Amino acid sequence: MTTDSELATNSGYYAKVANYPYLYRHTVSGRYYGVKKIKGKKRESSLKTSDRKIAERRLKDWVANLEKIDSEVEKTTLHELVQKFIAVNQGKSARTRDIIRGVLQDFEKCWPHGLDVEVRNIRPSHLEEWLARQEGRLRNTSYNRYAGVLKQLFELAVRDRIIAESPFKQVKTKWKKPQTPARHIPTVEEFQSIVDCIRSQRFTRHAQNSADFIAFLGLAGLGQAEASSLTWGDVDFPNNRLNIRRHKTDRRFTVPIYAHLMPLLEKLKSQAGENLTAGTRVLRVKDAKKGLRSACAKLGLPRFSQRNLRQSLIMRLWKAGVDRKLIAKWQGHQDGGQLILDTYTEVFGSDDDDYERLQLAKIGSPMNVVRVETGTAKESTADGNHPGTIAA
């Protein structure tokens, strides 16, 4: 088969197609080629067909793409593109950078075509092949993150005019419907048993500090990042509140010092003694997931996460009748409680049946029934029908 390089070396075999700019035909094989000068450089490409009409359509696309590609960067390798992508995302949040780093590490480990391949030679099938390898081990949400990073990677290549069109655009499975997560939220009793179990570990050096950390998460309803960075300068005892910086959004919000939280804070304050300064951290450890995992295993409980402990307080506040907008405010949410309503209320604990019965009890007797004295008249409904009949 005649290659593109042969077009220049064996130009005698090529004839210019009359009245059609940039189109040439091989006189032996009958295949069509495109030839065009861009910024003084001759560009050649096989149109991979012997059909005139097909050749004309492909030539039109090829010429259009030539204008979109910068000849100085068109030979950029995949490795160079990955490094550039990492560099342009340095300003993103720590969580976003971690996701990108993790996906790209997996990408580099098992990309079957080598990182020295030129970006322009990567096909949609190459990306589909790699995503298919990840599909079996990833949940749908994680798969979407992997696909999203690939999409952004090749969009950068298009913006920098390395390629004219992203190969990701033709990938068949770009996104999967997220699976409903199996959330487990500890009840108040389960939460207390976890704290007690961690605290009872006599031969673990950090047992008490870990128990305090876990207790704080569940009693204050804060995440691990917020709790670990809390200092005594953030604790406002006179106004009975905690001043919190939500790490995910970098916004400030306040949380009340709940009555059930106050004893723990007073104990920690007493333990701090002379070290209690505005810049001193309230909790002595930054993470207690190992202690939590061990306690759940010993107690035969689901493998609760530190986030589940935060959700435990949300459940507690919800069932106490606190308005969802106020709960959202205390969680640092800006949506007026929509996340609370959509996400948490459907999985609030193991006593949902009891909670539902309690709410139904508030309704009382059916509103459409009128009761009369026995023996003086027949019991009837508000619409005049006798019990057992159906109103029209």
Parse the chain into domains and list their residue ranges: 4-68, 78-170, 188-356, 362-392
Alpha-carbon gap, residue 227 to 253, rounded angstroms: 13
Please write the tens of the pLDDT for every residue from 141-174.
Answer: 999 999 999 999 999 999 998 998 899 999 999 9
Q: What pLDDT is recorded for position 4?
A: 43
Q: What pLDDT is recorded for position 368?
A: 47
Average confidence score pLDDT of the chain: 84
- The answer as to CATH 1.10.150.130 being correct for domain 78-170 is yes
Q: Does the structure show a pLDDT above 60 at 203? A: yes
Q: What pLDDT is recorded for position 359?
A: 62
Q: Does the structure show a pLDDT above 50 at 56? A: yes
Please write the tens of the pLDDT for every residue from 291-319.
Answer: 999 999 999 999 999 989 988 898 888 88
Angle between helices 94-110 and 140-159 (to 10 degrees): 90
Alpha-carbon gap, residue 39 to 389, rounded angstroms: 89
Class of domain 188-356: mainly alpha
φ, ψ of residue 301 to 5 degrees: the values are -100, 165
Q: What pLDDT is recorded for position 354?
A: 59
Q: What pLDDT is recorded for position 293?
A: 95
Q: Would you place residue 389 in the very low, low, confident or very high pLDDT band (cuts 50, 70, 90)? A: very low
Q: Would you place residue 346 in the very low, low, confident or very high pLDDT band (cuts 50, 70, 90)? A: low
Alpha-carbon gap, residue 300 to 26, rounded angstroms: 76
pTM (2 decimals)? 0.55
Q: What pLDDT is recorded for position 377?
A: 43
CB-CB contact of 226 with 246 (8 Å): yes
Q: Would you place residue 12 in the very low, low, confident or very high pLDDT band (cuts 50, 70, 90)? A: low
φ, ψ of residue 122 to 5 degrees: the values are -85, 130
Q: What pLDDT is recorded for position 239?
A: 95
Which of these, 68, 167, 43, lies nearest to 117 by C-alpha position? 167
Burial 330-367 (b: 16+ CB within 10 A, else e): bbbbeeebebbeeebeebbbeeeeeeeeeeeeeeeeee
Q: Would you place residue 182 in the very low, low, confident or very high pLDDT band (cuts 50, 70, 90)? A: low
Average pLDDT over residues 107-111: 90
